[in-house]
Amino acid sequence: MPVAIGSHRGRDTRCGKGSSPGFGYKSDPSAGTAADGKRANGGHVEIRPPKYGSERTVYVADGLVEILAAHVAARCPRDDPARYLFGKDVPPHQNTVGHWWRKARRVAGCSAVKLHGLRHFYASGLIAAGCDVVTVQRALGHASATITLNTYAHLWPTAEDRTQAAAAAMLAETLSVADSVRTSGQR
């Protein structure tokens, strides 16, 4: 399910005018994307596309959509067309988001977890689930698969790992068949 929500770089976290759960969900991935919010002198925020053309759709679990929808229902006034998921009327400054994160992790008792670490957690989870390099590259917004491989190549199984896993599966199947033949008395 695609969701247009922001990151710690101050991306557009508006709750989303006309969006289903009310926080940037788009049933059509081309219907909306995240944008960077850059502060100029005097606190004015300029909304513009993210750096390096990293504009993308991020697919998230339905359960996360439900959690975010509940958060929005509780905290974002429905009659405000410019409402933001984690701010009042503009994307929060990245320092504000950092402060919120440090406060939340202190309360949760996990002070070692850095906000950027969540990005690595997401990438390693995609890899562990069997996603290929291009899928992870696109999910993270990397300009090339080379960037993704330079950072995460050690997490993908090697040819030797896959060969060993295939051999183990064949052995397990063979032993299972042999055991069923032995226990059924067939020769």
Render pLDDT for 30-65 as a digit per residue (tens, 0 to 9): 333 444 555 555 666 666 676 666 677 878 889 998
Average pLDDT, the chain: 74
Question: What sign for the dihedral angle of Cα 16, 22, 28, 33?
Answer: positive
Q: Where are the domains of the chain?
A: 2-110, 114-156, 158-187
Q: 């922001």: which residue's tokens? A: 6
Q: Given this model, what pLDDT does residue 12 score? A: 35
The CA distance from 84 to 5, in Å, is: 10
Whether residue 26 is predicted with pLDDT greater than 80 in this model: the reply is: no
Percentage of residues in the chain having pLDDT higher than 70: 61
Q: List pLDDT tens digits, range 79-102.
A: 665 566 665 656 677 788 888 889
Higher-confidence residue of 1 and 182: namely 182
Residue 33 CB contacts under 8 Å (≥ 6 apart), including other chains:
4, 49, 55, 56, 57
The CA distance from 52 to 66, in Å, is: 31
Whether residue 15 is predicted with pLDDT greater than 60 in this model: the reply is: no
